Amino acid sequence: MRELKAAILATDGFEQSELEFPLNVLKKVWIPFDIISLKKGTIKGWNVTKWGDDFNVNKTIVKARSSDYDLLILPGGVINSDFIRTNKPAIKFVTEFFEKGIPVAAICHAPWLLIETGLLRGKRLTSYHSMKTDLINAGAEWIDEEVVVDHNLITSRSPKDLPAFCKKMVEALKK
């Protein structure tokens, strides 16, 4: 039996706290992870109002396989989420998690990528408030709560919800 492993999918412009906080939680509970991106090298965070730190990419999206992971984490950030949702391999990767019933944890603007899967109809979730209409138009039920869990889908609104988001993320990983 292989050990549990998480995937974090992001590109330049992710909200730094929304990648860094879950990453640190995974380290605390001894869960290995890969940062997966659209390119090799590093990706740069967005730290509230300015560019943040660089993070090393472990694997590119074209080399990543959903079957290698037990959890997918999607940090938000307007730049990251708007750019990554147009990437066909990223959409395929996320879709595979949904189809296999593997937990997906998305925060803030990350549900833009979830919309592209076409699999949100009838799902209950939350996001950053400005995405409410987009998610309703995709057939989802939008709920204004710090964390919403619908089967294998875990969503939160913003960085202030990170503790609750990560708690549910770790619970799903341990099931």
Catalytic residues: 109
CB 47 within 8 A of CB 18: no
Distance CA 107, CA 117 (A): 16
Q: Strand ranges (DSSP E) for the chain? A: 6-9, 14-15, 33-37, 42-47, 50-56, 59-60, 71-74, 104-107, 124-125, 141-142, 147-150, 153-156
CA-CA distances (angstroms) from residue 63 to 21, 42, 53, 68, 95?
Answer: 25, 16, 24, 11, 16
Q: Pairing relation of β-strands 71-74 and 104-107? A: parallel
Sign of CA dihedral 6, 171, 150, 129: negative
CB 112 within 8 A of CB 79: no
